[in-house]
Amino acid sequence: MPAQDIRKAAVLLTSLPQEQAAMLMSKLSPKQVEAVSIEIAKLDTIPGEEQEQVIQEFANANPTALAGGTGGLNVAKSLLEQALGKNANAALDNVRQSLEALPFGFLQKVDAQNLLTFIIDEHPQTIALILSHMSPQQAASVLSGLPAERQLSVTRRIATMGQTSPEIIQEVEKGLEHRMASVMSQQFENAGGVQAVAEILNVIDRATERSLLENLAQEDPDLVEEIRRLMFVFEDITKFSDRDIQTILKNVESSQWAMALKGATDELKQKILGNMSKRAAGLLLEEMDYLGPVRASSVEQVQQQIVDIIRRLEDLGEITINAGEEEERFVQ
């Protein structure tokens, strides 16, 4: 399968609900499944224009597919497990091995605290480059261990980082190679950016997150607002308790839900509909059917409106956004 077709297949599969994507994936040969999974794992946010262009070829078969748009190793793993069942482990190992061949891929096996001792005295720009190539969880652990003033400096550099040349990546990697004796091959890629900061702050401890954003807001409030908008995504609504969902429902119009839930996961749809009365849920489903196929950009715009409402409710203390996977503990 040509590289261009692999990219198109990856974009299409991440744009579909996972059940449909897994069904399509199960019809591919094992080699094709592996190649597409690697591409999905390498994807970050997919530009809307590219997504729409790819799905144009698929629109007649599934006109409601224009609503996805993110990749990553977890997405690839989920699709592999649904498509291959028990046979997914071997394919997933191959996917991981291919990802480890990316710049700084060897860091996936390095303990964050050990890495911190190697890079804590590096220039903030060097640390930012390294963290941009790590998983959000690892990067958050390293960032938490830096002095407060260096945290701010590194965070700002990650947020404003664009494309990094292979020469610079190679130079930094070789420096780590001498000290850690484990460097992998590299290739040109887009690293850092506001999305990288948002992903790191999503998994960092709450106190560090607030301190960083407050300090950064004094220098660049617009940048902080952009980071905050990316820290909580629409699909994260499934993490809320039913009580918080009901609070959100009181502040979001039915017409907004009708548009925003187009292409959403079944889990999220059930989360919203299950907290409505039968009559209200029925009316919402009717309104969604009445809308018919809609543009992905329109869906994303309304989803962001709802995310903004949720952020406002959090600021008012009416709901709690739990960015981590663990439930909030209560003490007497």
The answer on pLDDT for 315 being more than 80 is: no
Domains in the chain (CATH in brackets) are 3-100 (1.10.220), 105-230 (1.10.220.30), 234-315 (1.10.220.30)
pTM for the whole thing? Answer: 0.41
Residue 330 has pLDDT above 60, yes or no: no
pLDDT on residue 327: 46
Least confident of 41-45, 90-94, 206-210, 242-246: 90-94
Task: List the structure tokens of 18.
Answer: 């996972």
So what's the pLDDT on residue 84?
47
Whether residue 43 is predicted with pLDDT greater than 60 in this model: the reply is yes
How far apart, in Å, are the Cα atoms of 119 and each of 122, 123, 124, 298, 315?
Answer: 5, 8, 9, 43, 35
Residue range 178-219, pLDDT digits in tens: 666 643 333 334 456 777 787 787 667 667 777 888 888 888
Q: How far is CA 239 from CA 219, 243, 331, in A?
A: 32, 12, 21
Mean pLDDT across the stretch 13-36? 71
Per-residue pLDDT tens digits for 116-138: 877 888 889 989 888 887 777 77
Q: Mean pLDDT across the stretch 233-254?
A: 91
Question: Which of the 8 DSSP states describes residue 328?
Answer: P
User: Please, which pLDDT band fits residue 102 given cuts at 50, 70 and 90?
Assistant: low
* Inter-helix orientation angle 73-84/18-25, to 10°: 60
Q: What is the pLDDT of residues 262-281, one digit of tens each?
A: 878 899 999 999 999 999 99
User: Residue 274 has what pLDDT?
Assistant: 95
Q: What is the pLDDT of residue 82?
A: 55
What gap in Å lies between CA 141 and CA 214, rounded to an integer?
A: 20
Query: Mean pLDDT over residues 71-79, rounded?
Result: 53
